[in-house]
Amino acid sequence: MVKDKLNLLDTQTRQVTELFSVAPRQLQFLSVAPDNRSLVLSVNTTEADIWLFSFASSDNEAK
């Protein structure tokens, strides 16, 4: 298992897309927010990094 990349798997096409890489470091923690709109991860390094990703949704788009 690769621990330095965050990938997205399309379950219909089975296509894998790399979203984020922290190589040569490693991802240490990964969590989806309770509202399923954000992803939080930390990187194993000598410095402290916290990353927050927000998921785009057609429900949130202005009409």
Look at 2 and 22; give whichever has higher pLDDT.
Answer: 22
On average, the pLDDT of the chain sits at 81
The residues with which 52 forms a beta bridge, in sequence order, are 40
Q: Are strands 50-54 and 16-21 parallel, antiparallel or unpaired?
A: unpaired
- On the question of pLDDT at 50 being above 80, the answer is no
pTM, full prediction: 0.58
pLDDT band at 62 (very low <50, low <70, confident <90, very high): very low
Burial class (CB in 10 A: 0-12, 13-18, 19+), 39: middle
The residues with which 45 forms a beta bridge, in sequence order, are none
Rounded to 5 degrees, what angle do the CA atoms 18, 54, 50 make? Answer: 80
Report pLDDT digits (tens) over 16-32: 999 889 888 888 888 88
For position 61, what pLDDT does the model report?
46
Q: What distance, in Å, lies between the first and last C-alpha atoms of the chain?
A: 41
